[in-house]
Amino acid sequence: MSSQEVCIRTQGVTRKFHDKEVLHGISLEVRHNEIFGLLGPSGSGKTTLVKMIAGIDEATSGEVEVLGIRMPKLSMMNRIGYMAQSDAMYNELTAKENLEFFGALFGLKGATMKRRIEEVMALVNLTDHLKRPVNAYSGGMKRRLSLAIALMHEPEVLILDEPTVGIDPVLRKSIWDEFEDLSQKGTTILVTTHVMDEADKCHRLGMVRDGHLIAVGTPEALKQETGSATIEEAFLHYGGVRV
């Protein structure tokens, strides 16, 4: 893989919390325009890893690079969109006010702000609920609004931590179609999931278990290599369990 193709690179990344190592030397490369899925059970270290890539957390040792720049770096925040696992929004505020606030932090204003609000809300199918306070939203709606906020500033790199939890299958499909569309237009998407059927939709997958990256490859290659019919079987295979 030539260095121009690489969008996100981690090199021997280790993260310790109070002497307990939760990530053990993860080396990973995500290419431009790719939808890369991090698959693993909860507690495997996915969130810790994507936080370091998003520049919120810092590796204990090893290097994280995004778009060729060593993270964490404040100026990179404008080029990265991050959606956390929790629906972090201001519940008293309306959806519009939330979008305006986060948009303004990324320097959006005036007509651009207005246009982006319309676009992202249409994307997550919440246009009719723009003026409702977030505390009147259902869980799935909050998840979608959270995604909309991450998309506001049209980031080159999108990091999504379990973006489709609690979203109904029809909408989930339309959101994945949108991810595909964004990736066609040049956005690199790093998404974590523990839903195996979602993993099939990723261009490439990284399997994480107990803080180790146990396998990387396209869903087809991973299945083929292990002689499995499903991603789940492949995961079990790499995890050391024979079916």
Partner 1 sequence: MRIRAVIVRIARQFIHDQRTMALLVVAPLLVLSLMYLVFNGDTYQPKIGTVQLPAAITEKLTAADAKVTAYDTVEVAEAALADQEIDAFIRLDQGTAQVKLEGSDPSKNRAVMLLMQKTLQGQAASAGVAGSSNGQAVAPEFQYLHGSADMSSFDSFSPVLIGLFAFFFVFLIAGVSFLRERTSGTLERLLATPLRRWEIVVGYMAGFGIFTSLQAVLIAGFTVYALGSLMVGSFGYVLLIMLLLSLTALSFGTLLSAFANTEFQMIQFIPIVIVPQVFFSGLFDLESISPWLRWITHITPLKYGADALRGIMIRGEGWSGIALDVYVLAGLSLVFMLANVLALQKHRKI
Residue from 12, 43, 68, 107 touching partner 1 (CB under 8 A): that is: 107
Indicate which single residue of 5, 12, 17, 58 sits in contact with partner 1 (rule: CB under 8 A).
Answer: 58
Cβ closest to partner 1, residue 91 vs residue 174: 91
Counting contacts by CB under 8 A, is residue 104 touching partner 1? Answer: yes
The 3-state DSSP class for residue 227 equals coil
- Using the 8-state DSSP alphabet, how is residue 124 labeled? T
Q: How many residues bind partner 1 (CB under 8 A)?
A: 32
List, in sequence order, the alpha helices (H) in the chain.
46-54, 95-105, 110-123, 139-151, 169-184, 196-199, 219-226, 231-238
- Check residue 101 for interaction with partner 1 (CB under 8 A): yes
* Pairwise CA distance, residues 52 & 65, whole Å: 10
- State the Cα–Cα distance between residues 33 and 166, nearest whole angstrom: 26
Sheet hosting strand 20-31, strand order edge to edge: 20-31, 6-17, 61-66, 69-70
What pairs with residue 189 in β-bridges?
A: 35, 158
Scanning 105-113, 114-122, 188-196, 225-233 for contacts with partner 1 by CB under 8 A, the matching segment is 105-113
The verdict on 75 binding partner 1 (CB under 8 A) reads: yes
Q: Which of 17, 70, 90, 243 binds partner 1 (CB under 8 A)?
A: 90
Among 23, 52, 59, 89, binds partner 1 (CB under 8 A): 89
Token pair for residue 98?
């939330």
* Member of 29, 34, 65, 87 binding partner 1 (CB under 8 A): 87
Q: Applying CB under 8 A, which residues contact partner 1?
A: 54-58, 72-75, 77-78, 80, 82, 84, 86-93, 97, 100-102, 104-107, 133, 149
